[in-house]
Amino acid sequence: MASLIMKGTYTEQGWQGVASEGFKSRESTIKQFVESQGGKLVGLYFSTGADWDWMVIAEGLDPSIAGKAQIMASGAYGWTTTDVVVSASEADAETSVRHRTPGQ
C-alpha cells in the first residue's frame, strides 16, 4: 500500500470544533480513522502560515481513500488533497522499467 500526504483547510465550522476540542483530540480521531482503514499514522501537523491548515502523513492506505466523501460531507473542511509519495528505493524500482517505443 502507498504512503500518503493528505492536506486541507478547515472551514469556520472546522476551526470552531478544533477550538473547542483542541488539536490533540484531532490527533486521536485521525489516528483512529487511519487505523480503521488499515493504515498507520506517521504524522499530523498544523500550520497557520501555509496554504493548508492540517497535514496527515500515513502509510498503508488505499490512495482512493473511500472515506473522503464522508470527510468532506462533515462540512468541517474547505478542501483536501491526497498525494501518493514513495521512498527513493521505491522510485528507483518504478523507474527501472524502461519503455521501448515501436521501432527501437
- Residue 57 has a pLDDT of 95
Which pTM was predicted? Answer: 0.79
Residue-level pLDDT at 17: 93
Question: What is the reported pLDDT for 97?
Answer: 65
State the pLDDT at residue 87.
83
Q: Going from the first residue of the chain to its last (104 residues), give the mean pLDDT of each consecutive group of 10, the final group possibly shorter.
A: 88 94 92 90 94 94 69 84 86 73 76
Q: List the domain boundaries for the chain.
A: 2-85
- Tell me how far apart the alpha carbons of residues 25 and 50 are, in angstroms, rounded to a whole number: 22
Q: Which three cell numbers stand for residue 49?
A: 502560515
The crossing angle, in degrees rounded to 10, of helices 23-36 and 12-21 is 110
CATH classification code of 2-85: 3.30.70.1060
